[in-house]
Amino acid sequence: MDGDWSSVLSSVAAAVAVIWILLLLLKKPTSSNPPLPPGPRGLPLLGNLLSLDPELHTYFAALAKTYGPIYSLKLGKKIGIVITSPDLAKAVFKDQDTTFANRDVPVAGKEAAYGGADIVWTPYGPEWRMLRKVCVREMLGQSTLDSVYGLRRREVRQTVGYLYSKAGTPVNVGEQMFLTMMNVITSLLWGGTVKGEERAALGAEFRQVVGEITALLGSPNLSDFFPALERFDLQGIAKKTRVMAGKFDRIFETIIEQREKMCGEERESKDFLQILLQQMKDGGDSKTPLTLTHVKALLMDMVVGGTDTTSNSVEYALAEMMNKPQILKKAQQELEAVVGRDNIVEESHISKLPYLYAVMKESLRLHPALPLFVPHCPSATTTVAGYTIPKGSRVFVNAWAIHRDPSIWDSPTEFIPERFADGKWDFSGNDFRFLPFGSGRRICAGTAMAERMFMYSLASLLHSFDWSMPPGEKLDLEEKFGIVLKKKTPLLAVPTPRLSSPSLYE
């Protein structure tokens, strides 16, 4: 009996195995969708959330060495797709640009941008096109930037004067660059600047608020991965963002109230806010009218997106040059040949400084302002590289990793401006090996502004001063991840005047 029973069990087991195999074979051809990209195994429910490293750009780059240039992560209820090659970046930014032109709006984004009513988070469509058109036409176009050069010049000269007053003592370079950018942006927006003794204190306060908002935007949030938990705000990210954004909102409210009283007044030139309020009053595009919420969301975009990014990039460029004094010296020699020590830098000189342009490009290659950009979100399920990319997934393009890919760049971790000699590698978004400002429909709207401010600010710093570390201090180039990449340790450097006359610092 025992032998018969054993034989029956074996037969049943064999039959079950055969049926299971047949079912698998029969099921496979019926699947119309390719599989998800490969990726690390995750825990039930949580997926890969617990294994995420705070330095996401380097963590994602390391995973790509194991799983390839496209892989997937399970992020709670969401699917994350990470792309780490130029060809696949092209598939997202160009070949299927319309499909990937949307955003998966995080809770912090909703709180910071009036429900996501700005250029960054608004879904691709008529409303987004209206916002971008208004922004580029009225503020960030080349003709507008040409017309307000005097404003940029005033703020950069004020910064040079302030640094001259601090000669021989350490200054926080990033903080001063942030304040310069903030003054330029706010002057364009509503005409206000920070001067005198307020400069250092208010600059530090504004930078802290902007820094906290960008940090919250880049922080992993359970509410984003488990939407059912959003109302509980378990990590307090929504509340913290609301508090930070509220500080700016109160400023916006006050200034809007002042400008609305001035709308009927005749002035030689109107600031950006007055133009927006007039368009709102006139009705603008009847199909997609500009609202007060849009106006405030655009102001937030400009203040948050236009300050920290450029100031961090200039800070990193100067730090990299100080780390390689021969590069700093070469850039200063170029400036002396073009500008001279008896003159000050003007924006008209910038086009004659090819080596400094190469420095800018190399700094943006090594330290892209947004290392993972703002994640994209496909509006429909699609296929990339033979893998399914589900509708609503969060797609990260790792520009930081692409910019350091040894198959593309020689000595990729070295700061070598010469690789960009002769105008190689533009950043128009058409070369997917070099994407400091992104590509496609969602390419950075402020590229022209960022380029001008980066070059003019850095040229002025290098031409006006020699730079050194405080005695006993070592230069640290370590990065700190966020939606905006920063130096982990702020650059405290000592400026030493190098021009021929004190009057050139006035």
pLDDT tier for residue 282 given thresholds of 50, 70 and 90: confident
Handedness of CA 27, 28, 33, 38 (dihedral sign): positive
Is the Cβ–Cβ distance between 485 and 479 less than 8 Å?
Answer: yes
pTM of structure = 0.89
- Kindly report, residue by residue over 143-163, the tens digit of the pLDDT: 888 988 998 999 999 999 999
Per-domain residue ranges of the chain: 49-505
What would the pLDDT profile of 46-84 be if each residue is shown by its tens digit? Answer: 999 999 999 999 999 999 999 999 999 999 999 999 999
Least confident of 135-149, 277-291, 317-331, 402-416: 277-291
Percent of the chain at pLDDT above 90?
72
- What mean pLDDT value characterizes the chain? 89
Question: Is residue 233 scored above 80 in pLDDT?
Answer: yes
d(C-alpha 158, C-alpha 503), whole Å = 13
Instruction: Pick left, alpha or beta for residue 495 (phi over 0 → left; psi -120 to 50 → alpha; otherwise beta).
Output: beta
CATH class of 49-505: mainly alpha
pLDDT of amino acid 22: 56
Could you say which DSSP state residue 44 is in?
Answer: T
pLDDT recorded at residue 41: 95
263 is in an annotated binding site: no
State the pLDDT at residue 4.
47
With cut-offs at 50, 70 and 90, classify the pLDDT of residue 188: confident
Give the C-alpha distances (Å, rounded to integers) separating 19 from 5, 27, 129: 21, 12, 56
Dihedrals phi, psi of 493, to nearest 5 degrees? -130, 155
Q: Residues 99-120: what's their mean pLDDT?
A: 95
**pLDDT band with cut points at 50, 70 and 90 for residue 1:** very low
pLDDT band at 266 (very low <50, low <70, confident <90, very high): low
Question: 3-class SS at 41?
Answer: coil
Q: How confident is the model at residue 268 (pLDDT cuts 50, 70, 90)?
A: low
Distance from C-alpha of 296 to C-alpha of 280, rounded to nearest angstrom: 12
pLDDT average, residue stretch 275-293:
82
Q: For residues 393 and 224, is the Cβ–Cβ distance under 8 A?
A: no
Q: 489 pLDDT exceeds 50?
A: yes
